[in-house]
A and B are shown apart, each in its own frame.
Chain A
Amino acid sequence: MELERQFRRCLSEAIPMIIIAPFAKSLINNKRNPKNYPYWDKLIKLTHEKIVQVGVEGEEQLVYDFKKDLSISELRKLIAECRIWIGCDSFFQHLAWDCGKPGIVLWSVSDPLIYGHPENTNLLKSRDYLANNQFLWWDFTEYNADAFVKPEEVIKYL
């Protein structure tokens, strides 16, 4: 039902589009990346706009329109077309910043003062959750869902 609802939404080009870039690079040790937002399902349900997911092959599909393995120029084109985007601390937030399109970044253990861009809405629940060492591989940081803001909070900034 949810996918069908999203499919119908996709058909209507008149509805503004939101890009979601849900996942950071997978870790070498196959653990869950501590930068990956845990509440995407709920956030998507609360979002009443057309959503396009971008990512790479192997990542979980969260919405009907999942564009995988786009080239950088294809991503740039898509970013130019979207109303806003939501992502975690990953390559995408840097690319969208480079394109001059502000969006929402959902932070947890990495520090937005180091890796973020002030042009974006950087949602960090608390600096208490930041990793002590910001410069190690993220494989060594434990996953903590509590470190993220809740979807109800995110939706206020859409």
Chain B
Amino acid sequence: MPDKLVIFDDNDEPKDMRQEMIYQYFFQMLDIKKIPWEWVYAEKKGQHHIHQKANEMGFDWVWRVDDDAIPEPDVLGNLLGYTTIEKVGAIGGSILTPPLKFDTSKSTGKVSDIDKEPNIQWNYIKQSKEVEHLHCSFLYRAGVHDYNLGLSRVAHREETLFTYGLYLKGYKIIVAPHAITWHFKNPEGGIRSESKQELYSHDEAIFRNTIGFSDSTIVVLNAGAGDHIVFSHILPEISNPVIFTCYPEIVAGKSIAEANALFGDLDQYNIYKKMTQWNWKGSLEDAYRKLYL
């Protein structure tokens, strides 16, 4: 049984769904099954903000499902079976939108092939496979990697950036058979209700910039001068670092403004935010070690 069901309501005009009879039945079933549930009115800033909230709620694993996605009953159980594999970061199944028109038999699931192949999840998955990114709905290890909150409200590529970020941190990303979610793509919900091309272009640029640094470790030192000095002691341990710095006289690098322009959101590199998230009791040096090594 899940620890909790959290429904994030990002509607323009949120309603109290406890007054809706069909929803009352769902809520009663959850109560009967003793599954705690919470209805959260979201901030209408885009689904990536919602996912990040879930990511920070303190649970070990989060299963993310959009409202236009209908998972078959065995999906969560099957995905959960893979969490015992060492250092698994995320597991996803098939995401099927009828009619199925993509031949995914040769899809690699690598980010370098993202422009050349249909997503491996867009058809039936015959056997489990390690990939580099996932799409739409999946089960993931929470609190390890942040969603990029610098994306626009259309949050184009948000799940690709997120799962690829887990992959770059050394976690396995797996596609699994026997875990089918039907995705009906509500034309009025989520990113498809937005039509501004510049928002997509903005997000696409962040995506391209991020994967452009795949062979490097991006380091963003958006903290104080003393923090830079402490960080400098772990710098030799970081492989192929590309550094953005507030104090180039202490740790040489490019400007923070450039990092902001390239990656949108820098919160994932904020050592103080991270130490808060981790309820940190160790040294600042070890916190930097945890963030970058």
A residues at B contact (CB < 8 Å): 25, 71-72, 90-91, 93-95, 97-98, 113-116, 133-135
A98 touching B284, Cβ below 8 Å: no
A94 touching B229, Cβ below 8 Å: yes
A90 touching B226, Cβ below 8 Å: yes
8 Å CB contact of A114 from B233, B249, B283: B283
A91 touching B225, Cβ below 8 Å: yes
Which residues of chain A come closer than 8 Å to B229, judged between CB atoms? 91, 94-95, 97-98
B272 touching A93, Cβ below 8 Å: no
Is B232 an interface residue when CB atoms closer than 8 A count as contact?
Answer: yes
A113 touching B283, Cβ below 8 Å: yes
Which residues of chain A come closer than 8 Å to B284, judged between CB atoms? 114-115
Q: How far is the CA of A142 from the CA of B283 in the complex (A)?
A: 24
B residues at A contact (CB < 8 Å): 224-227, 229-230, 232-233, 249-250, 272-273, 275-276, 280-284, 287
Which residues of chain A come closer than 8 Å to B283, judged between CB atoms? 113-116
8 Å CB contact of B282 from A91, A98, A114: A114
Closest Cβ of chain B to A145, distance in Å, is 23
Q: Which residue from chain A places its CB closest to the CB of B273 in the assembled complex?
A: A135
Q: Which residue from chain A places its CB closest to the CB of B280 in the assembled complex?
A: A114
Which residues of chain A come closer than 8 Å to B224, judged between CB atoms? 25, 91
Additional 15 contacts, C-beta under 8 A, given A90-B226, A95-B229, A97-B229: A72-B249, A72-B250, A91-B224, A91-B226, A94-B227, A94-B230, A98-B232, A98-B233, A113-B281, A113-B283, A114-B275, A114-B282, A116-B283, A134-B280, A135-B275
Closest Cβ of chain A to B274, distance in Å, is 9
Q: How far is the CA of A49 from the CA of B146 in the complex (A)?
A: 52
Q: A114-B282, A114-B283 are in contact. Are A133 and B249 (CB under 8 A)?
A: no
Q: Which residue from chain B places its CB closest to the CB of A133 in the assembled complex?
A: B276
Q: How far is the CA of A135 from the CA of B275 in the complex (A)?
A: 7
Q: Which residue from chain A places its CB closest to the CB of B232 in the assembled complex?
A: A98
Closest Cβ of chain A to B229, distance in Å, is 4
Q: How far is the CA of A94 from the CA of B233 in the complex (A)?
A: 11
Closest Cβ of chain B to A127, distance in Å, is 12
Most buried by A among B224, B226, B281, B283: B226
Which residues of chain A come closer than 8 Å to B249, judged between CB atoms? 71-72
Q: How far is the CA of A62 from the CA of B249 in the complex (A)?
A: 28
B226 touching A135, Cβ below 8 Å: no
B226 touching A134, Cβ below 8 Å: no
Which residues of chain A come closer than 8 Å to B233, judged between CB atoms? 98
Q: How far is the CA of A115 from the CA of B19 in the complex (A)?
A: 52
B275 touching A134, Cβ below 8 Å: yes
Give 3 closest A-B pairs by Cβ, nearest first. Answer: A94-B226, A91-B226, A94-B229
Which residues of chain A come closer than 8 Å to B250, judged between CB atoms? 72
Closest Cβ of chain B to A130, distance in Å, is 11
Q: How far is the CA of A114 from the CA of B284 in the complex (A)?
A: 5
Closest Cβ of chain A to B17, distance in Å, is 35
30 contacts between A and B (CB under 8 A): A25-B224, A71-B249, A72-B249, A90-B226, A91-B224, A91-B225, A91-B229, A93-B226, A94-B225, A94-B227, A94-B229, A95-B226, A95-B229, A98-B229, A98-B232, A113-B281, A113-B282, A113-B283, A114-B275, A114-B280, A114-B281, A114-B282, A114-B284, A114-B287, A115-B284, A134-B275, A134-B280, A135-B272, A135-B276, A135-B280
Q: How far is the CA of A94 from the CA of B226 in the complex (A)?
A: 6
Closest Cβ of chain B to A34, distance in Å, is 16
Q: Which residue from chain B places its CB closest to the CB of A71 in the assembled complex?
A: B249
Q: How far is the CA of A64 from the CA of B226 in the complex (A)?
A: 26
Which residues of chain A come closer than 8 Å to B232, judged between CB atoms? 98
Which residues of chain B come closer than 8 Å to A95, judged between CB atoms? 226, 229
Q: How far is the CA of A135 from the CA of B272 in the complex (A)?
A: 5
Q: How far is the CA of A126 from the CA of B201 in the complex (A)?
A: 54
Q: How far is the CA of A95 from the CA of B287 in the complex (A)?
A: 18
Q: How far is the CA of A90 from the CA of B226 in the complex (A)?
A: 7
Q: Which residue from chain B places its CB closest to the CB of A99 in the assembled complex?
A: B229
Q: Which residue from chain A places its CB closest to the CB of B224 in the assembled complex?
A: A91
Q: How far is the CA of A135 from the CA of B232 in the complex (A)?
A: 20
